[in-house]
Amino acid sequence: MTAERSESVGDPSGDPSASFIKLLFVGDVIGRPGRRVLQRLLPSLRDRLALDYVVVNIENAAGGFGVTPAILDELDVLDIDCYTSGNHIWDKKEVLPLLEREPRLLRPANYPEGNPGTGVYVGETAAGVPVATLNLEGQVFMKNVDSPFRVADRLLAELPEEVKVVLVDFHGEATSEKQAMGLYLDGRVSAVFGTHTHVPTADERILPDGTAFITDVGMTGAYEGVIGFKAPKVLKRFALQRNIPFEVAKRDPRLAAAAVEIDVETGRASSLERLLLPLAG
Is pLDDT above 60 for 13? no
Q: In this predicted model, what pLDDT tens digit does every residue of 202-250 receive, in sequence order?
A: 999 999 999 999 999 999 999 999 999 999 999 999 999 999 899 999 9
Q: Is 171:137 a contact under the CB 8 Å cutoff?
A: yes
Structure confidence at residue 15 as a pLDDT band (50, 70, 90):
low
Query: Known catalytic residue: 198?
Result: no
Task: Compute the chain's Rg from CA coordinates.
Answer: 18
User: Residues 58, 80: contact at Cβ < 8 Å?
Assistant: no
pLDDT at 60: 96
Using one digit for the tens of pLDDT, what is the confidence trace for 73-101? 999 999 999 999 999 999 999 999 999 99
For residue 14, pLDDT over 90 is answered with no
Packing angle of the helix pair 69-76, 31-48 (nearest 10 deg): 20
pLDDT grade for 12, boundaries at 50, 70 and 90: very low
Does the domain at residues 4-278 carry the CATH identifier 3.40.50.150?
no
For 151-186, how does the pLDDT look when each residue is reduced to its tens digit (9 = 90+)? 999 999 999 999 999 999 999 999 999 999 999 999
Alpha helices in the chain (DSSP H): 31-48, 69-76, 95-101, 148-158, 175-185, 231-240
**What are the domain boundaries of the chain?**
4-278
CA 212 to each of CA 84, 185, 208: distance values in angstroms, whole numbers, following the listed order:
18, 10, 9
Nearest to 105 by CA among 77, 130, 135, 63: 135
pLDDT in tens, 27-71: 999 999 999 999 999 999 999 999 999 999 999 999 999 999 999
Binning pLDDT at 50, 70 and 90, where does residue 2 land?
Answer: very low
Check residue 1 and give its pLDDT: 39
Q: In whole angstroms, what is the distance from residue 265 CA to residue 165 CA?
A: 8
Q: What per-residue confidence (pLDDT) applies to 6? A: 67
CA distances from 239 to 16, 90, 242 (A): 58, 28, 8
